[in-house]
Amino acid sequence: MSYLQNKWSEHERQTSPARRYASQREFEADWIYSLRRRYRVSQEALAVMANVSVTTVQNWENPRSAKAIAEHNQERLRDIERDLWIKAHVTLLDPCPPYIKALYDLMSASKDDSAKALADYLVATMPPDDTGRARLLHWASLTHSIGEPGSLRARSLSEAALDALAGSDTPLSAAIENEILGSQFEDLLLMPQGQARTRQGMNLMLACERLFQRDRQPAYLWNALEIACRAPLDSQDVFRLTQTLVEVQGLAHVRHRVRSEASFELARLVFDDNATRN
């Protein structure tokens, strides 16, 4: 079975998919477009990565194109997706322990089973009070996520990593926490609509708000607002976060960003309502 055929079969087995497609070809076109959008890759850049023409990429993304995507190109897309995932989720933060480097090398070499086995062994043998445990739990989560984004095992390890970071305020722990939340957000966007996605979004939003309370960096509030908009969460959360950003950064700045960036589309209603009242 080809790579995208396998993806299509996985989609067909979902009881409540985020979107329904009229055909496999429509699914493939949307999958490639979504891949580019998720990792902010242009058609020109994807063409270079896949060693094809821009016209070929455009045909891939055209659901009405009758030409099937060649199997060898599907394999290239599989490798490209993996490389983009690693670049988006994995950072070798210094100081880098040897076991973290070993996990990175295994993942980069597509040796997922070996990476998971090593990660699970290290998690089971590392003392609970080891200062590196939170980082290890995060990397163990990554080894389970790369082949199965959003798996229950990956989520449980990621949540355990955040719990292990509680109360730690070193620069390294803050960087690790940011990376964990970033990974969880990427997984959130792949989850179908439903209670699990809403619950994950609520947890992420609250975590970003806690980071803002700790460091007072507005970027955390913007992250929380994007999560509330794209999960999506209750409109009251969107309104509350938008109003807090206005208090921190001013009405003009927040209104301009909300109205100009697609990620905050749900928050535009806040300013529309204000305009109506005024």
pLDDT digits (tens, 9 = 90+) for 206-249: 988 988 888 888 999 999 999 999 999 999 999 999 999 999 99
Domain boundaries, the chain: 3-77, 90-190
Q: How far apart are CA 186 and CA 182, in angstroms?
A: 6
For residue 274, the model assigns a pLDDT of 53
For residue 275, the model assigns a pLDDT of: 46
Q: Which portions of the chain are predicted below pLDDT 50?
A: 275-278
Are 257 and 269 within 8 A, CB to CB? no
Cα 173 to Cα 243: distance, rounded to the nearest angstrom: 29
Q: Kindly give, in sequence order, each residue whose CB lies less than 8 Å from that of residue 227, ignoring residues fewer than 6 positions away.
A: 185, 188, 201, 204, 205, 208, 233
pLDDT attached to residue 267: 93
Report pLDDT for 253: 94
Fill in the amino acid letter for 272. D
What pLDDT, on the 0 to 100 scale, is given for residue 19?
81
Give residue 121's pLDDT.
97
Q: Which CATH number fits domain 3-77: 1.10.260.40, 3.40.50.410, 3.40.190.10, 3.40.50.970?
A: 1.10.260.40
Q: What does the alpha-carbon distance between residue 45 and residue 252 come to, in Å, rounded to a whole number?
A: 35
For residue 278, the model assigns a pLDDT of 43
